[in-house]
Each structure stands twice: as structure tokens, then as C-alpha cells.
């Protein structure tokens, strides 16, 4: 439970019991619950959408849903994505990229990248959520996007080393490394919502979404390795955001093809 509370404290703004330690060891071991945090964040987002769809037009319901997930995580992953856009957009060496990503100011690349990402996420969610009545399947789609994206962000720590050359230079704590046993537990939490969705709907094709997710994670890992020799916390945040959008786009693409 201490590991779970540590993960909840680190990855969200939700309250946790007093006295929860935030040591590096606990942070590293709590990574197994990162996909489970996706259940919570996705559950909050889909709950807000459900309430919003009763009171407001669907466009506002989707927007309020996005706001709720940004608020509950403190824009933690969105900030990482924007920093990656700034760093890799403006830097020409590993040192420059890492220095830019450490800067708390938001640049042109980050502003444009984050704006486009949120736009794609909004229209993908609107298309995914607006085609069927709210129910278990809709909730599972939303939650699986959050759990899977966090699983694939976690997997980045399986294939890359931590990239910061100067450990004292990092501005945010970040988990470093994960064992086989820990990753197996994280994989269970990450895959379970999608597996339940496939069984509930009788559509095993949903499991095929793991292919584009793996391809995106593989390409990002290659890109990060090439330019900075590993990953940072911002790289994990960017991976989470991009793979979350890929899940939404996969659902939308399947719906579009089936029409």
C-alpha cells in the first residue's frame, strides 16, 4: 500500500495519507502502479464526461473531461511532452537538448507541439465518445487508453538507461529502472482494461492496437537513444501522451473503417 500511495502522490494531485515517504527507492518500486494510476485518471475523466454529457453538449463534455485529467495529474505528462518538443526542436547536441528540457520556460516548439497534441486528442475523443451511448464499453475504451499509455511509458525504462549525465541537474524526480517482475505486474495493470474490453464486446481486434503502440514506443526509444543516449522524466511524459493519443486514434480508425 505504501508503494501505491507513493505512486498516487507522485503521478497525481490526489490526496494521500500523511507520512508517505517519497524516497528514490520507493519511487522506483512504485512504478509497478503507474498503469494502475491510469485506471484512476481515466476513471475520473470518463466520469466527468458522463456527467458533462447529461448537462451539456458533447463538445463541452469532452473538453471538461480533458480538463479533469490535466488537473488530476497536474499537467505532469503534458509538461514533459512540451519540454521534449522544445529540447529536441531547439537542441543540436545531447547537452543542449538536456539543458533546454531542464528549463521551466515554454518555448515555441513546446507551445506549438502541445497545442496540436491537445487538438488531436480533443477531436479523437469527440469522435470516439460521440458515436455510441455511454456504457461499459465507452468507459473501458477511455480507461484503457490511460493504462496502456502508462504501461508503454514504463516500458521505456526497460530498454533505455537514464540519460542525465549530471544527476544533480534534474529538476523533477523520476523513476530509474524496473525489474522483470515489476514490469510483469505493471503489464498486468496496463493490459487488463483492454483485455476486458475485448472480451466484453467480443471484438478481439482491439488487442491489435498493441501493434501501433509498440511501433510508436520503439521509434521513440530509438530517437531518444540516438540523441541523448537514454530517457528522462520528460521523455516518459512525452511517451505517455503520444501513446494515449495513438489509442484514441486506433479506436476512431476502427470505427471509421467499419462505417
* pLDDT value, residue 169: 46
Task: State how far the Cα of 150 lies from the Cα of 37, in Å rounded to an integer.
Answer: 8
For 197, the enclosing helix (H) or strand (E) is helix 180-201
Task: State how far the Cα of 201 lies from the Cα of 196, in Å rounded to an integer.
Answer: 8
**Sign of the torsion angle spanned by Cα atoms 2, 9, 107, 244:** positive
* pLDDT value, residue 173: 57
* pLDDT value, residue 166: 60
Query: How far is residue 178 from each of residues 5, 28, 40, 56, 153, measured CA to CA in Å?
Result: 18, 7, 22, 43, 12
* pLDDT value, residue 68: 97
Run means of pLDDT, 10 residues per run, the chain, 259 residues: 89 87 78 95 96 95 97 96 96 92 92 98 93 88 97 94 64 68 94 98 96 97 96 95 98 85
Q: Where are the beta strands (DSSP E) in the chain?
A: none
Domain positions in the chain are 36-258
> What letter does residue 231 receive in the DSSP assignment?
B
* pLDDT value, residue 168: 44
Amino acid at each position: 500500500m505504501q508503494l501505491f500511495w507513493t505512486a498516487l502522490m507522485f503521478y497525481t494531485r490526489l490526496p494521500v495519507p500523511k507520512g508517505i515517504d517519497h524516497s528514490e527507492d520507493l519511487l522506483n518500486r512504485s512504478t509497478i502502479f503507474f498503469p494502475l494510476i491510469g485506471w484512476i485518471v481515466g476513471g475520473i475523466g470518463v466520469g466527468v464526461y458522463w456527467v458533462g454529457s447529461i448537462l451539456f453538449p458533447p463538445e463541452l463534455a469532452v473538453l471538461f473531461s480533458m480538463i479533469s485529467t490535466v488537473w488530476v495529474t497536474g499537467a505532469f505528462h503534458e509538461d514533459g511532452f512540451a519540454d521534449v518538443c522544445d529540447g529536441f526542436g531547439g537542441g543540436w547536441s545531447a547537452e543542449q537538448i538536456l539543458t533546454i528540457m531542464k528549463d521551466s520556460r515554454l518555448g515555441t516548439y513546446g507551445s506549438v507541439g502541445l497545442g496540436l497534441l491537445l487538438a488531436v486528442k480533443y477531436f479523437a475523443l469527440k469522435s470516439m465518445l460521440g458515436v455510441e451511448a455511454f456504457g461499459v464499453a465507452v468507459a473501458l475504451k477511455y480507461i484503457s487508453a490511460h493504462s496502456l499509455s502508462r504501461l508503454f511509458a514504463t516500458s521505456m525504462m526497460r530498454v533505455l538507461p537514464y540519460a542525465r549525465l549530471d544527476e544533480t541537474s534534474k529538476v523533477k524526480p523520476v523513476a530509474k529502472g524496473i525489474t522483470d517482475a515489476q514490469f510483469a505486474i505493471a503489464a498486468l495493470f496496463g493490459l487488463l482494461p483492454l483485455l476486458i474490453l475485448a472480451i466484453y464486446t467480443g471484438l478481439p481486434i482491439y488487442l491489435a492496437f498493441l501493434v501501433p503502440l509498440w511501433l510508436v514506443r520503439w521509434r521513440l526509444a530509438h530517437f531518444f537513444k540516438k540523441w541523448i543516449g537514454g530517457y528522462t522524466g520528460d521523455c516518459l511524459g512525452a511517451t505517455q501522451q503520444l501513446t494515449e493519443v495513438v489509442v484514441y486514434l486506433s479506436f476512431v480508425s476502427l470505427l471509421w473503417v467499419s462505417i
